[in-house]
Amino acid sequence: MIEEVLVTARSNPKIDPSLGIWSWEVPMYLFLGGLTAGIMCFAALIILLRKEDQAPWAAKKMAIWAPVLLTVGMGALFLDLEHKLYVYRFYTTFQISSPMSWGSWILLLVYPVSILLVLCSIRDAYPRIGGVIERFSAGRWITAFACYHRQQVATWSLVLGVFLGFYTGILLSAFSARPFWNTGFLAPLFLISGLSSAAALVVLGTRSQAERMMFTKYDIGLISLELALIALLLVNLATGTGVQLDALKNVMGGEFTTRFWLYFVFIGLLIPVVLNYREISGRRTWAFLSPVLVLYGGYMLRLVTVEAGQVSTWTRYTQSFDPVLLDLLR
Amino acid sequence: MRLNRREFIKLSGLLTAGGFLTPALLSGCASQRLPGTGQVTATPTVCDICFWKCAGTVYAEDGQPWKVVGNPDDPHSTGRLCTRGTGGIGAYTDRDRLKQPLLRVSEGGRQTFKPVSWEEAFDFIAGRMQSIAQQHGNDRLALLSHGSGGKHFERLLKAFGSHAYAHPSFAQCRGPREVAFALTYGEGVGSPDRTDMEHSRCVVLIGSHIGENLHNGQVQTLAEAINKDATLITVDPRFSVAAGKSKYWLPIKPGTDMALLLAWMNVLINEGLYDRDYVERYTVGLEQLTRHVQPFNPEWAYLETGLAPKLIRDTAHAMAASAPATLVHPGRHVTWYGDDTQRERAIAILNALLGSWGRKGGFYSQEKVDLPAFPVPKPPRPATDWKQIVQPEFPLSPTGVSQKIVEACAGPEAHFKGLFVYGTNLPHTIPAIKPTLETAADSLDLLVVIDTMPAEITGYADVVLPECTYLERYDGLRNSPERVPSLALRMPAFKPRHETKPAWWMAKQLAGRLQLEKYFPWHDYADTLDWQLRQVGSSLEEMQKIGVKRFPRKTPMYFSTGQDIRFETPSGKIELYSETLAEYGHDPLPRYTAPDKRPEGYYRLNYGRGPAHTFGRTTNNPLLFELMPENAVWINPRVARQWQLKNGDYVQLKNQDGVVSNRVRVRVTERTGPNAVFMIHGFGHTAKGLRLATGVGADDAGLMTSVKVDPIMGGTGMRANFVTFVKA
Amino acid sequence: MARYAMVIDTKTCIGCGDCVVACKTENKVPAGLNRDWVVEATRGTYPDLTTEFRSERCNHCSHATCVYTCPTGASHYWRDSNIVLVDAAKCTGCKACIAACPYDARLIMHPDGYIDKCTFCHHRVEQGLDPACVSSCPTRCMHFGVLDDPGSHVSRLLKSRTYKVLLSETGNQPNVYYLI
Ligand SMILES: Nc1nc2c(c(=O)[nH]1)N[C@H]1C(S)=C(S)[C@@H](COP(=O)(O)OP(=O)(O)OC[C@H]3O[C@@H](n4cnc5c(=O)[nH]c(N)nc54)[C@H](O)[C@@H]3O)O[C@H]1N2
Ligand SMILES: Nc1nc2c(c(=O)[nH]1)N[C@H]1C(S)=C(S)[C@@H](COP(=O)(O)OP(=O)(O)OC[C@H]3O[C@@H](n4cnc5c(=O)[nH]c(N)nc54)[C@H](O)[C@@H]3O)O[C@H]1N2
Ligand code: SF4
Ligand code: SF4
Ligand code: SF4
Ligand code: SF4
Ligand code: SF4
Ligand SMILES: [Mo]
Query: CA-to-CA distance for B629 and B620, rounded, in angstroms?
Result: 8
Query: CA-to-CA distance for A5 and B645, rounded, in angstroms?
Result: 17
Q: Residue B109: is it exposed, middle or buried by C-beta count within 10 angstroms (0-12/13-18/19+)?
A: exposed
Within a 10 A sphere around the Cβ of B445, how many other Cβ atoms? 17
In this structure, the dihedral spanned by the alpha carbons of residues B506, B509, B515 and B521, taken in order and rounded to 10 degrees, is 90
pLDDT band at B680, cuts 50/70/90? very high
Residues of A in contact with C73 (CB under 8 A): 93, 95
Could you tell me how many residues make up chain A? 330
CB of residue B425 inside a 6 A radius of ligand 2 = yes
H or E element: which one contains B282? helix B276-282
- The answer to whether the beta carbons of residues A103 and A111 sit under 8 Å apart is no
Q: Which chains does chain A touch, 3 or more C-beta pairs < 8 A?
A: B, C
Q: Which atom of ligand 1 is nearest to the CA of B332?
A: 19
In this structure, the dihedral spanned by the alpha carbons of residues A294, A295, A299 and A304, taken in order and rounded to 10 degrees, is -10
CA angle B99, B621, B51 (to 5 degrees): 95
Whether B610 has a pLDDT exceeding 60, the answer reads yes
Please tell me the residue having the least CA distance from ligand 1 atom 13. B333
**Residue B12 per-residue DSSP state:** H
Closest-CA distance of chain C to residue B258, Å? 21
CB of residue C101 inside a 6 A radius of ligand 5 = yes
pLDDT of residue A287: 77
Which chain A residue shows the shortest CA-CA distance from C168?
Answer: A314
- Which domains, from first to last, does chain B contain? 173-366+560-583 (3.40.228.10), 603-727 (2.40.40.20)
pLDDT of residue B166: 98
pLDDT band at B583, cuts 50/70/90? very high
| Average pLDDT along chain B | 94
Cβ of residue B251 closer than 8 Å to a chain C Cβ: yes
Question: Using one digit for the tens of pLDDT, what is the confidence trace for B353-394?
Answer: 999 999 999 999 999 999 999 999 999 999 999 999 999 999
Whether B18 has a pLDDT exceeding 50, the answer reads no
Which chain A residue shows the shortest CA-CA distance from B697?
Answer: A321
pLDDT of residue C105: 65
Q: Residue B19: is it exposed, middle or buried by C-beta count within 10 angstroms (0-12/13-18/19+)?
A: exposed
Nearest alpha-carbon partner for B722 in B706, B699, B698, B710: B706
Which residues fall within 8 angstroms of residue B480, CB to CB, at 6 or more apart? B53, B76, B191, B192, B368
The residue ranges of DSSP E strands in B584-715, in sequence order, are 603-608, 632-635, 650-655, 664-668, 676-680, 708-709
Q: Would strands B202-206 and B231-235 be described as parallel, antiparallel, or unpaired? A: parallel
pLDDT of residue A231: 96
Please report the sign of the dihedral spanned by the C-alpha atoms of residue C133, residue C135, residue C139, residue C142.
Answer: positive
CB of residue C93 inside a 6 A radius of ligand 6 = yes
Which chain B residue shows the shortest CA-CA distance from C115?
Answer: B29
Interface mutation vs chain A, best among B7, B15, B631, B685, most A CBs within 10 Å: B15
Interface mutation vs chain A, best among C33, C59, C61, C92, most A CBs within 10 Å: C92
Alpha-carbon distances of C6 from A314, B635, B709, C82, C147, rounded to whole Å:
21, 35, 50, 12, 9
3 state SS for A268-284: HHHHHHHHHHHHHCCCC
3 state SS for A170-219: HHHHCCCCCCCCCCCCHHHHHHHHHHHHHHHHHHHHCCCHHHHHHHHHHH
Please tell me the residue having the least CA distance from ligand 4 atom 3. C13
Whether B21 has a pLDDT exceeding 60, the answer reads no
Nearest alpha-carbon partner for B142 in B503, B406, B489, B380: B406
- The answer to whether the beta carbons of residues B322 and B201 sit under 8 Å apart is yes
Q: What is the CATH number of domain C4-179?
A: 3.30.70.20
Listed by start position, the domains of chain C span 4-179
Q: What is the CA radius of gyration of chain C?
A: 16
pLDDT of residue A91: 94
- The answer to whether the beta carbons of residues B450 and B423 sit under 8 Å apart is yes
- The answer to whether the beta carbons of residues A182 and A175 sit under 8 Å apart is yes
3 state SS for B628-639: CCCCEEEECHHH
pLDDT of residue A285: 67
Is residue B607 helix, strand or coil? strand
Residues of C in contact with A83 (CB under 8 A): 88, 91-93, 112-114
Query: CA-to-CA distance for B426 and B432, rounded, in angstroms?
Result: 10
- The answer to whether the beta carbons of residues B345 and B590 sit under 8 Å apart is yes
Whether B19 has a pLDDT exceeding 70, the answer reads no
Question: Using one digit for the tens of pLDDT, what is the confidence trace for B708-724?
Answer: 999 999 999 999 999 99
Q: Which residues pair with A189 in a beta bridge?
A: none
pLDDT of residue B43: 98
Is residue A228 helix, strand or coil? helix
Nearest alpha-carbon partner for B472 in B499, B510, B448: B499
pLDDT of residue A281: 85
Q: Which atom of ligand 4 is nearest to the CA of B611?
A: 4
**Residue C81 per-residue DSSP state:** B
Contact A327 B628 (CB under 8 A): no
Which residues fall within 8 angstroms of residue A34, CB to CB, at 6 or more apart? A164, A165, A168, A190, A191, A193, A194, A197, A298, A302
- The answer to whether the beta carbons of residues B532 and B543 sit under 8 Å apart is no
Closest-CA distance of chain C to residue B511, Å? 40
3 state SS for B187-229: CCCCCCCCECHHHCCEEEEECCCECCECCHHHHHHHHHHHHCC
pLDDT of residue C104: 81
Nearest alpha-carbon partner for A319 in B89, B636, B648: B648
Query: CA-to-CA distance for A264 and A257, rounded, in angstroms?
Result: 10
Task: State the complex-level ipTM.
Answer: 0.93
**Residue B595 per-residue DSSP state:** P
**Interval between CA B52 and ligand 3 midpoint (Å):** 5
Q: Which of C34, C111, C138 sits opposite B219 (nearest CB)?
A: C138
Listed by start position, the domains of chain A span 19-323
* One-letter identity of residue B402: S
Query: CA-to-CA distance for B207 and B257, rounded, in angstroms?
Result: 9
Ligand 2 pocket test: pick from B48, B99, B208, B429 the residue with the most ligand atoms within 8 Å of its Cβ.
B429
Whether C102 has a pLDDT exceeding 60, the answer reads yes
Which chain A residue shows the shortest CA-CA distance from B669?
Answer: A3
* One-letter identity of residue B87: G
Query: CA-to-CA distance for B401 and A138, rounded, in angstroms?
Result: 97
Helix orientation angle between A271-280 and A209-238, rounded to the nearest 10 degrees: 150
Whether B86 has a pLDDT exceeding 60, the answer reads yes
Q: What is the mean pLDDT of residues B128-157?
A: 97
* One-letter identity of residue B353: L
**Residue A57 per-residue DSSP state:** I
Within a 10 A sphere around the Cβ of C149, how many other Cβ atoms? 13
pLDDT of residue B6: 32
Contact C69 A175 (CB under 8 A): yes
The tally of CA atoms less than 13 A away on the side-chain side of residue B291 is 6
Q: Which atom of ligand 1 is nearest to the CA of B253?
A: 35
Q: Which chains does chain C touch, 3 or more C-beta pairs < 8 A?
A: A, B
Please tell me the residue having the least CA distance from ligand 6 atom 6. C94
Question: Using one digit for the tens of pLDDT, what is the confidence trace for A16-73?
Answer: 888 899 999 999 999 999 999 999 999 999 999 999 989 999 999 999 999 999 999 9
Closest-CA distance of chain C to residue B560, Å? 31
Contact B22 A9 (CB under 8 A): no
Residues of C in contact with B249 (CB under 8 A): 47, 49
Return the percentage of chain C with pLDDT > 90, whole number. Answer: 94
- Among A274-278, B281-285, B685-689, the minimum mean pLDDT is found in A274-278
pLDDT by residue, tens only, chain A of 330 residues:
789 999 999 888 888 888 899 999 999 999 999 999 999 999 999 999 999 989 999 999 999 999 999 999 999 999 999 999 999 999 999 999 999 999 999 999 999 999 999 999 998 899 999 999 999 999 999 999 999 999 999 999 999 999 999 999 999 999 999 999 999 999 999 999 999 999 999 999 998 999 999 999 999 999 999 999 999 999 999 998 899 999 999 999 999 999 999 999 999 999 999 999 988 888 776 778 999 999 999 999 999 999 999 999 998 888 899 989 998 887
Output the DSSP codes for B52-79: T--EEEEEEETTEEEEEEE-TT-TTTTT
Within a 10 A sphere around the Cβ of A115, how many other Cβ atoms? 18
Return the percentage of chain B with pLDDT > 90, whole number. Answer: 94
pLDDT of residue B275: 97
Closest-CA distance of chain A to residue C136, Å? 16
Is residue B14 helix, strand or coil? helix
Question: Using one digit for the tens of pLDDT, what is the confidence trace for B689-701?
Answer: 999 999 999 999 9
CATH class of the domain whose range is A19-323: mainly alpha
Sheet with A318-319: strands ordered across: A318-319, A2-6, C37-45, C48-56
**Interval between CA C15 and ligand 4 midpoint (Å):** 5
- The answer to whether the beta carbons of residues A306 and A19 sit under 8 Å apart is no
Within a 10 A sphere around the Cβ of B14, how many other Cβ atoms? 10
* One-letter identity of residue C121: C
**Residue A84 per-residue DSSP state:** G
Interface mutation vs chain A, best among C98, C115, C178, most A CBs within 10 Å: C98
* One-letter identity of residue C62: S
Please report the sign of the dihedral spanned by the C-alpha atoms of residue C87, residue C90, residue C91, residue C94.
Answer: negative
- The answer to whether the beta carbons of residues B467 and B451 sit under 8 Å apart is yes
Q: Residue C169: is it exposed, middle or buried by C-beta count within 10 angstroms (0-12/13-18/19+)?
A: exposed
Query: CA-to-CA distance for B249 and C48, rounded, in angstroms?
Result: 9
Whether B8 has a pLDDT exceeding 70, the answer reads no
Contact A7 C72 (CB under 8 A): no
* One-letter identity of residue B153: F
pLDDT of residue B381: 92
Cβ of residue A329 closer than 8 Å to a chain B Cβ: yes
Residues of C in contact with A15 (CB under 8 A): 98, 104-105, 107-109
Which chain A residue shows the shortest CA-CA distance from C49?
Answer: A1
